[in-house]
Structure formats: structure tokens, C-alpha cells
Chain A
């Protein structure tokens, strides 16, 4: 199972919106509404931000949102804040296994 493809880096100024893409295949992202997104700050464990493509867990800010079209899922951060600077990973169920994305470093300029 190959890793899902994400851009290596995305940047934006405070207050701007950015979108991170996550491209898989019809065997994973495209087959199930089970993409989740994780935020990871340096030397910390990842934190769940979005699950089932679009849902936010309790306590996650509504300036994070998820969407999906075909084999590509996306995470949008609206109103970028300094504390949003982190690595972001997508993750998908793939039938008999799970696969993570390659990771995207978000920089707040």
C-alpha cells in the first residue's frame, strides 16, 4: 500500500486560508468516507483534527475543515494563526489496512 500524496510544504500569512491536498486511489481515499487529518507539532504526538472526511472532533476549532472529491481529500485552514504552524498528515482506511499521507509542513509567514 503506497503512502497518500501530500505537498511537502504550504505557507500562508496570518488570516489567510490555505488548503492541503491528499491524493490516494480508488482503493483507499476514493472508496470510503474515512479520511482523517492529524496535526503534529515538533516532538509531540499527532492530534486528530478531522475524521470521516469532514467531521471535527469535540474541541477542534471550526477554522479547520475537510472535504473530498474523488480520490483527493483536502484540509482547509481558514484564518491562519501562528499556532497552526505544524506538520499535517492525512490518513485513510484501505479495506484491509490503513495508509498515511506523506505529510505537509505548514509555515505561517
Chain B
């Protein structure tokens, strides 16, 4: 069974930093693109970033470029999202997902990030 488990969410002040992690099991993690997506009541679902198998290709949405960085550690079957200069409108549930054919085949359960003073 494929499982993705996110962690690292929580309450942070505006301007602060947070690192999200996503551990994958039941799938050959090193052979797949992976992605971060977030969801908030105000903006709905939003693509955040994605990364290829060997980290040679990384893409970030305009709304987070320069503040967020996606990375991975294939030895640990893990995906990361380093978030800095956080803003109130970054508040959302953050999901990691395994992607193929430009679709999100498997999703984690999500981790809530709340940016508030």
C-alpha cells in the first residue's frame, strides 16, 4: 500500500520559517516526480512546487518562488518543503503527492500550516 505522511506543520508568525517533510512508503520513491500542493478556503487547491527523480529539475509557483524550496532525499524516501518569509496568505493544508502523466496519483493526508501573529 502506498502511503505518504506529511509532518512539520504548525503555527508560525508572519516572516517566520517552517520545514515540511513527507515520507513515502510502498512505492519506488527514487523513480518518480513528486509535488507539493496546498489548499485553503480562500484560494482552493494550488500547485506549490514539484521536483524530478534526481533533483535536476525543480519548479515553484510564482506565489512562492524565492521563499519556498523543494528538495528530496531518496535514501530516506522523503520530500521536503523549506518555507521562509511566510505570509498570512500561505496559511493552508499542505499535501505531498506522487505524480505521473502530469497527474497526482497518490496523496498524503495533509499538514496544516497557520501563519498568524
Contacts and interface: CB of A to CB of B under 8 A. Distances in A.
B61 A97 contact: yes
Interface residues of A, number: 24
B44 A100 contact: yes
A89 B101 contact: no
B59 A36 contact: no
Contacts of B61: 97
Contacts of A96: 59
A36 B47 contact: no
Nearest to B96: A45
Contact of B44 (A1, A52, A102): A102
Contact of A48 (B45, B50, B104): B104
Contacts of A108: none
A14 interface: no
B108 interface: yes
A52 B105 CA distance: 12
A45 B47 contact: no
Given A45-B109, A45-B110, A36 B102 contact: yes
A97 B95 CA distance: 17
A8 B14 CA distance: 32
Interface in A19-60: 32, 34, 36, 38, 45-48, 51-52, 55, 57
Contacts of A91: 45, 103-104
A40 B3 CA distance: 17
B104 A46 contact: yes
B46 interface: yes
A48 B105 CA distance: 6
A46 B59 CA distance: 22
Contacts of A45: 95, 107-110
30 contacts: A1-B62, A34-B102, A34-B103, A36-B102, A36-B104, A38-B104, A45-B95, A45-B107, A45-B110, A46-B104, A46-B107, A48-B103, A48-B104, A51-B102, A51-B103, A51-B105, A52-B101, A55-B101, A93-B102, A96-B59, A97-B59, A97-B61, A98-B47, A98-B50, A98-B102, A99-B47, A100-B46, A100-B47, A102-B44, A103-B44
